Structure 1
Amino acid sequence: MNNRRTWLKQTGLAMVGVGIMPLENFAIPKSENIIEDKNDLTLIRLQSNENPYGPSTLAKNAMSKNLNISNRYNWEMLEELMEKIAVKHNLTAQNILLGAGSSEILNLVALYCSKKTGNLIIAETTFDYWTVTAENAGLKKIAIPLTADKKNDLAAMLKAIETDTKLVYICNPNNPTGTICSNKELLDFINEATKKTTVLVDEAYLDFTNQPSLSNLVKENKNLIIVKTFSKIYALAGSRIGYAMAHPDTIMELSQLQFSPNASISVVSAAGAIASLKDDKFVTDTIALNAAAREYTIEQLQKLNIPCIASHTNFVYFSLENYNKDFFNQLTENNILGTKIYEEQGKWSRITIGTLKEMKQFIKALE
């Protein structure tokens, strides 16, 4: 609710500003310009891997302008968004399916793969909240332990595929560990695994890396689905925009599970997404700001004898096994939202990388 109230306030202010200010062509995130709930200035949100620098001014201006046409359905704008996403990935609109965040897409894939009973294979630990849909639909979840360095164990996952395996899920980079599979390892895995079952690759955090998307593979491979989101690098988490990239035949089957294919994104959200795709400067600067704050955080955690996993994302995974204070109580007392213990062995937790100012407050809270 706080995020929703914040967004409403921001768009309201943007509506006032758009009448007296020219539309900015490019927006550069300011290092300390965190978007906050004005009723709760002291709360530091390091819980959900949100981007603290946005949405970009270009996106906000586009969203505020399009509030005036929210009385109309969104067909034309969604077609434009799909075309622009397709161009970005050298695909066609027939390779794209839109959803209200990548969560909707993940749910659709779960339903798609559970048409027949069987199982799905997933890492332990990874982003698995969506798998409840698959389990409720009848799929048995098989969790494959991570490697010692907290990476997806692709060899073990490949070996675990059975005749009734309907889906293998790979989050790359992985959430919550922040680790990444090498491009070659992942390509080799996909080439073998998709001969036997559907592979879903979640690229929610790939934009924070130099690794290319695997989207080009969906042109020919009907058993590969790539899912991406505007929530992270583009800072549109509250606007709920995600999409799948797959072979046109697979997209067609997935779309049949939506009441109205591609229609769950509002005019305002679509406008923000279209504008965001034009704002390369915002993306570049967000990556740089995130990297600087992440480097500082890891360095300071290690000084506190808190081991960290090298991260390729906007969050850090660390062990609290040697930390003598009550970590979560320290966060609460300092008005910081964190997450939880993901792995009891080693007491592994995750923290989102906020602004550098926020991360300094986070470290101070632990000292």
Structure 2
Amino acid sequence: MSNRRNWLKQVGLGVVGLGLGQIETFANPIPNYFVSNPNDTRILLRSNENPYGPSPLARTAMTESINISNRYGWTQTSELITLIAKKNNVAEKNILLGAGSTEILDLALQFTALKKGTFILAETTYDYWTSPAKTLGIKKITIPLTADKRLNLTAMLKAIDSDTKMIYICNPNNPTGTICERDELVSFIQEASKKVIVLVDEAYIDFTNQQSLSNLVIENKNLIVAKTFSKMYGLAGGRIGYAVANESTIYELSQLQSWPNGSVSVVSTAGALASLKDENFKKEVYSLNEKVKKYTIEQLEHLNITCIPSHSNFIYFSLSNYKKDFFEQLEKNNIVGTKIYEEQGKWSRITVGTMQEMEMFINALR
């Protein structure tokens, strides 16, 4: 409990350092009817979406791009790849675009399946993308989390055998929100990639202060880093993401696409370009997420609901001591959550929405 309190205190100090006035002026940056679907009044806290929507610059760029959507976006795609490469301190040849990072994960799975065998991932992690594995003829091997809900890198490394072709690491991990210490992760990758492909999913890295692993791909042919505009940048529906990998690996992945870099639309590309140029929006979303997350965890723990310290825009918590029917309480209050991820301890996850949404969430549980 003391570690959790120290963590909450550090988060609070970080938010204060950004200035409460700045946070308050951004608390409602855009009209609500742009943020939510007017035909869907539910509070959606299930998919780790950015509740503040795309940045104002991205909205303008996407709207304007509709007028040129009758043309293919070769020029815009090239510009985006250049900007992404610069952001990640790599070359354009190290980048491959996809329709969300899901397409990148799909390509990595297909690439791995060409060699047949098995791939390793945590027993509780983001695994929806692995559903085609059986059809592709590749077997999934799962490794339990540690007692504190972290990825067990040591056990993953020990699990590698002659059949292993890939290891998947989600960092920060979904749904637990835990993060691997960078030095430990780099050491793990250096060792594991001698034998297998290491696929690192950095969908939530922007909600942390940890440096991306993208610069390691220049020397490491067996490292693929998957990144997305869905979370921090609020473009989940825009479907745009990318891979960062060694030039030779990017080439092999691109051979699995009929049109390399061609699956993203002109509108999505315009939104991504503008998002990368809107650093202020990114800083404000980070600040708001930390503030609302801190509030939500404190309130959940007042309800005797144990939470795992989160390095993301969602919270993992145990319902073992909660006396009411959690999902019934959500349904009665028009709130959409997720599910039980681990039966032992009844662990579930909730997305960090706006402050108003999380106040309604907490009130629903009381």
Normalised by the length of structure 1, the TM-score is 0.91
1:281-312 CA-to-partner distances (Å, cap 9, x unmatched) read 00000000000100000000000000000000
Aligned to 1:243: 242
Deviating 4+ runs (over 6 angstroms):
none
Q: Aligned with 2:277: secondary structure?
A: coil
**CA deviation after TM superposition for structure 1 residue 172, in Å:** 0.2
CA distance in 2, matches of 1:66, 1:153: 45
Aligned to 2:21: none
Structure with greater proportional helix content: 2
CA distance in 1, matches of 2:134, 2:171: 22
Aligned to 1:365: 364
Is contact 1:32–1:356 with CA below 8 Å preserved after alignment? Answer: no
CA distance in 2, matches of 1:308, 1:224: 32
**CA deviation after TM superposition for structure 1 residue 139, in Å:** 1.0
Q: Aligned with 1:67: secondary structure?
A: helix
CA distance in 2, matches of 1:71, 1:30: 36
Is contact 1:167–1:197 with CA below 8 Å preserved after alignment? Answer: yes
Q: Aligned with 1:54: secondary structure?
A: coil
Aligned to 2:328: 329
Aligned to 1:216: 215
1:25-60 CA-to-partner distances (Å, cap 9, x unmatched) read xxx85347551111233x101010000112111000
1:232-254 CA-to-partner distances (Å, cap 9, x unmatched) read 00000000001000000000000
1:54-97 CA-to-partner distances (Å, cap 9, x unmatched) read 21110000001110000001111111110100011111110000
The equivalences for 1:1-367 within 5 A come to 29-31=26-28, 33=30, 34=32, 35-41=35-41, 43-367=42-366
Q: Percent identity?
A: 63
RMSD of aligned Cα (Å): 1.0
1:304-362 CA-to-partner distances (Å, cap 9, x unmatched) read 00000000000000000111111001000100010000000000000000001100000
Q: Aligned with 1:302: secondary structure?
A: helix
**CA deviation after TM superposition for structure 1 residue 117, in Å:** 1.5
1:192-221 CA-to-partner distances (Å, cap 9, x unmatched) read 000010000000000000000001100010
Is contact 1:31–1:289 with CA below 8 Å preserved after alignment? Answer: no
CA distance in 1, matches of 2:276, 2:29: 23
CA distance in 2, matches of 1:145, 1:284: 34
Q: Which amino acid aligns with 2:121?
A: I
Q: Which amino acid aligns with 1:129?
A: Y
Aligned length: 339
Q: Aligned with 2:132: secondary structure?
A: helix
Q: Aligned with 2:259: secondary structure?
A: coil
Q: Which amino acid aligns with 1:288?
A: S
Change (3 A) 1:119 1:322: same
CA distance in 2, matches of 1:40, 1:202: 30
CA distance in 2, matches of 1:252, 1:292: 42
Is contact 1:306–1:320 with CA below 8 Å preserved after alignment? Answer: yes
Q: Aligned with 1:258: secondary structure?
A: coil
1:79-135 CA-to-partner distances (Å, cap 9, x unmatched) read 111010001111111000000000001000000001022000000100001111223
CA distance in 2, matches of 1:99, 1:113: 17
Q: Aligned with 1:168: secondary structure?
A: strand
Q: Aligned with 2:131: secondary structure?
A: helix
Q: Aligned with 1:211: secondary structure?
A: coil
Aligned to 1:6: none
CA distance in 2, matches of 1:56, 1:29: 11
Q: Aligned with 2:140: secondary structure?
A: strand
Q: Aligned with 1:130: secondary structure?
A: helix
